[in-house]
Amino acid sequence: MSDLFVIAYDDVATANQVREKLFELSKQHLVELEDAVVVERHPDGKIKLHQAVNHTAVGAAGGALWGGVIGLLFLAPLLGAAVGAAAGAAGGKFTDTGINDDFMKNLSQNLRPGAGALFVLVKKAAEDKVIPQLIPYGGELVQTSLSKADEDHLREAIEVALKTPEQ
């Protein structure tokens, strides 16, 4: 089962840096991510989601490939690729995997304008190695899907890491 973590930051740049750090830690097999989305609240109050995966582009690319292959059968590969790309893009636009977009938008209404938040869905993590690498970025833990006891343990680990000088 995956765990959800929502961390608010003073700016979107910091949230993006933390997401990039998590991707780096994922390459080192210290954390296994299911989804990581940076959410930005514009000064006019609008919420912008910065997804890690663009489903529309992925759908268009896959659709173009398959459309071109099918088009070869009917001696119209370019037409097949164009139709396949359009169909794939449409399908990708309506695909929502990972964290629910409406949930992220609703929760992000509480962000102050100009601030950002990082929504992370984690399958598993080496907590003792990941938390110390994320502490320097600051942020405020807004919500988790952990049990109350586990969330309290996480907050204590963060406090200890904040008090411990870097070596």
> What pLDDT does 148 receive?
83
Residue 130 confidence (pLDDT) above 50: yes
Higher pLDDT, 114 or 85: 114
> What pLDDT does 17 receive?
93
Kindly report, residue by residue over 67-90, the tens digit of the pLDDT.
666 666 666 666 666 666 666 666
Burial of 148 (0-12, 13-18, 19+ CB in 10 A): exposed
Kindly report, residue by residue over 37-77, the tens digit of the pLDDT.
999 988 888 888 877 755 455 555 666 666 666 666 666 66
Count the alpha carbons within 13 Å of 101 in the hemisphere toward its beta carbon.
12
Are 134 and 18 in contact by the 8 Å Cβ rule? The answer is: yes
> What pLDDT does 62 receive?
63
Sign of CA dihedral 65, 67, 70, 75: negative
